[in-house]
């Protein structure tokens, strides 16, 4: 079996330098030396003994990520950003998809802890999170994204959902809309609660009564947007505008409006949330509150890497969304859905 020492001899360097190249640190290695080591590894077909290394360094150079539903492009695009930055840090990403199921989420959290990941990034589903005590006992560094986990010491990286919804609804009001309904996400999670609060505050400050506006809750996906759109837009005294709490839902609303013979934005103006790539390609393109997915992904890995390197946890970082104006609200519809942000 080829050993690290064989690689060091062929590369004309020490075992330690080979280790620094393999572990991306902790010491720097001159580029020409790194090149010789990598060439020796290739030539000899050396495969580091990951289990032995993890026993020595108590690190596996892997991190876990659990998301509610990676069929939703928001989570898929965020997971890709996280994976890109993890790779930059020499970390392998193990992804678990909870499918919004509490037991499945718990199974992934426990499995990833058992497999000795160096850290965890969690976007919690909606349930009781029964795994919290085991996570705390494991001392595995953890970053919670997007949905706040109450009474958990983990660091949180969140979005100002209330402020984003307030700005989106304010934009519809600025277009002269006065009957603004809401197609909202699942009732019992922070992003939904906060987005409905922002929609409600904007209406109240405009002298309108949110309780008189139609509101429907359901999953963040296209199907709920489609069904919720039919429900709200086929009513007597239907809304002439909708704040929709995800782009995926808004794609469903556009389909429902078309089936009801309603034009967007002429008969019903829309403003949604997330800023996924698909929001550029609906007809008209979606005006949306874009979440800083690239920043969220990078900050999550950097916060986690710092905690793996023994920095303290418990931070709470809140980022803001950016209004992207396109045709669905009544603004000009840019060719190719190109953003103006």
Could you list the residues that contact ligand RIB (CB under 6 A)?
A: 72, 74, 146-147, 191, 220, 246, 248, 273-274
Smallest distance, ligand RIB to C-beta of residue 189, A: 7
Task: In whole angstroms, give the CA distance from residue 171 to residue 286.
Answer: 13
Q: Which of 313, 311, 297 is nearest to 145 (CA)?
A: 297
Is the torsion defined by CA of 218, 223, 229, 231 positive or negative? Answer: negative
Q: Which of 84, 83, 91 is nearest to 24 (CA)?
A: 91
* Complex with ligand RIB: residue 20 or 74, whichever CB lies closer: 74
Smallest distance, ligand RIB to C-beta of residue 17, A: 44
* Complex with ligand RIB: residue 72 or 138, whichever CB lies closer: 72
Smallest distance, ligand RIB to C-beta of residue 54, A: 33
* Complex with ligand RIB: residue 220 or 243, whichever CB lies closer: 220
Q: What is the DSSP letter of 184?
A: E
* Complex with ligand RIB: residue 74 or 108, whichever CB lies closer: 74
Q: Which residue is nearest to ligand RIB (CB)?
A: 246
Q: 68 φ, ψ to 5°?
A: -70, -40
Instruction: Using the structure block, give the residue that is written with the tokens 């396109």.
Output: 326
Smallest distance, ligand RIB to C-beta of residue 281, A: 17
Smallest distance, ligand RIB to C-beta of residue 50, A: 34
* Complex with ligand RIB: residue 191 or 337, whichever CB lies closer: 191
Q: How far are the Cα atoms of 168, 208, 224, 240, 256 from residue 177, in angstroms, in the given order?
A: 12, 11, 23, 7, 20
Task: In whole angstroms, give the CA distance from residue 111 to residue 62.
Answer: 13
């Amino acid at each position: 079996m080829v050993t690290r020492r064989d690689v060091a001899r062929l590369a004309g360097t020490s075992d330690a330098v080979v280790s620094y190249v393999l572990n991306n640190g902790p010491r720097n290695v001159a580029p020409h030396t790194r090149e010789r080591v990598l060439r020796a590894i290739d030539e000899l077909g050396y495969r580091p003994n990951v289990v032995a290394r993890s026993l020595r360094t108590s690190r596996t150079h892997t991190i876990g990520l659990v998301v509610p539903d990676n069929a939703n492009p928001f989570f898929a695009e965020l997971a890709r950003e996280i994976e890109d930055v993890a790779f930059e840090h020499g970390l392998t990403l193990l992804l678990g998809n909870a499918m919004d199921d509490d037991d499945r989420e718990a199974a992934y959290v426990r499995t990833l802890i058992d497999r000795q990941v160096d850290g965890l990034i969690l976007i919690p589903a909606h349930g009781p999170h029964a795994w919290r005590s085991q996570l705390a006992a494991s001392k595995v560094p953890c970053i919670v994204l997007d949905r706040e986990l109450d009474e958990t010491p983990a660091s949180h990286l969140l979005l100002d959902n209330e402020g984003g919804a307030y700005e989106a609804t304010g934009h519809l009001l600025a277009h002269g809309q006065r009957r603004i309904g809401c197609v909202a996400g699942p009732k019992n999670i922070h992003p939904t609660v906060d987005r409905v609060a922002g929609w409600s505050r904007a209406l109240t400050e405009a002298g309108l009564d949110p309780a008189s506006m139609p509101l429907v809750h359901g999953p963040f996906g296209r199907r709920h947007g489609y069904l919720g759109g039919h429900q709200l837009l086929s009513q007597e005294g239907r809304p002439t505008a909708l704040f929709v709490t995800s782009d995926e839902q808004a794609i469903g609303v556009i389909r429902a409006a078309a089936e009801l013979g309603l034009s967007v934005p002429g008969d019903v103006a829309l403003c949604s949330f997330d800023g996924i790539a698909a929001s550029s390609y609906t007809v008209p393109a979606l005006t949306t509150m874009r979440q800083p997915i690239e920043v969220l992904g990078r900050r999550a890995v950097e916060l986690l890497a710092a905690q793996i390197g023994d920095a303290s946890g418990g931070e709470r970082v809140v980022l803001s969304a950016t209004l992207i104006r396109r045709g669905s609200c009544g603004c000009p519809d840019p060719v190719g859905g190109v953003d103006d942000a």
